[in-house]
Amino acid sequence: MEGGLIVLAAALLLFLSPEVQGTAHLSFANDTQVVNITRDGCGVSKLCVDTPNNCDPSGSSPCLFVSAVSSVPVAPNGVNLSVELSGESAGYIAVGLTANASEGTSMLVVCAQTNGTFFFRTMQRNNTDNMLTPTERRVNEIRGMVNGSMIKCEFIVPNLNASNTRSTATTFSLLLGNGSFDGSALGAFIISRNSGPLDITQPNSNVPPTAAPISNTTMPSNTTMPSNTTMPSNTTMPNNSGALQPHAVLLLLSVLTLSVLLRV
């Protein structure tokens, strides 16, 4: 019992104050409270997941937002992941990374507040019963600020690898959510958005592909021949059967009769 109280007191002293530079696995930046999070670069230079969709973390409307920028993967270490996390909560906001949906646990990074003071913690989440367990996952360059119910934080997770082998895998599902915090214990993590599997090295991995433009090479419907191009009825070909017409016979008889008379 006494040992548990000592651990709790140490945790509160080390994680509640942004001036404290962290423990062996947590390292705070020098400018701990300088945090500026926007949508700039989403889908181009950074991977973004948010709820509601396409919300603005720098605006006045509710927006739970996370962005990630990955370094070049290096086996077997993986990548260094720079993360921005922003949202409103009276307790905590968090982002979880799950390498495989069927895995039993997720790594959860928590940014919280208690009475306006910033609190940072890494946890392991049991995906079955949603239980949270403290874990000493290394995190660097931590920055955090609290303004009313708004919590913003930035940090770098080094050596992140979805593979347990010597290869490097970079596909994770990002879990975005929040929960309660009473100053000593974190409540259950409530998931607001599950991104599904994403390649964290590709900023546009959750951007729908743009449809190819439709070609206008089809012939227009008005290219049919106009109805007035039919041949006129009086253009029938003459009769070439060789039969003499009645007036021609009369003309021939007249000529023969005149010839006979002239000879008499």
Round to whole Å and give the CA distance between 176 and 106.
12
pLDDT at 87: 97
The burial class, CB within 10 Å (0-12 / 13-18 / 19+), for 206 is middle
User: CB-based contacts of 182: which residues, under 8 Å, 6+ apart?
Assistant: 91, 114
Confidence band of 1 (pLDDT split at 50, 70, 90) = very low
pLDDT digit string, tens, across residues 50-84: 999 999 999 989 999 999 999 998 888 889 999 99
Convert the chain into a string of H (helix), E (strand) and C (coil).
CHHHHHHHHHHHHHHCCCCCCCCCCEEECCCCCCCCCCCCCECCCEEEEEECCCCCCCCCCCCEEEEEEECCCECCCEEEEEEEEEEECCCEEEEEEECCCCCCEEEEEEEEEECCEEEEEEEEEECCCCCEEECCCCEEEEEEEEECCEEEEEEEEEEECCCCCCCCCCEEEEEEEEECECCCCECCCEEEEEEEEEECCCCCCCCCCCCCCCCCCCCCHHHCCCHHHCCCHHHCCCCCCCCCCHHHHHHHHHHHHHHHHHHC
- Name 79's bridge partners: 160
Residue 225's alpha-carbon distances to 228, 230, 235, in angstroms, are 8, 10, 20
pLDDT digits (tens, 9 = 90+) for 226-252: 555 454 445 444 454 455 565 565 666
Q: Averaged over 199-228, what is the pLDDT?
A: 69
Of 9, 8, 32, residue with least CA distance to 20:
32
Across 9-18, 139-148, 157-166, least confident range: 9-18
CB atoms within 10 A of CB 187: 14
Q: What is the pLDDT of residue 100?
A: 76
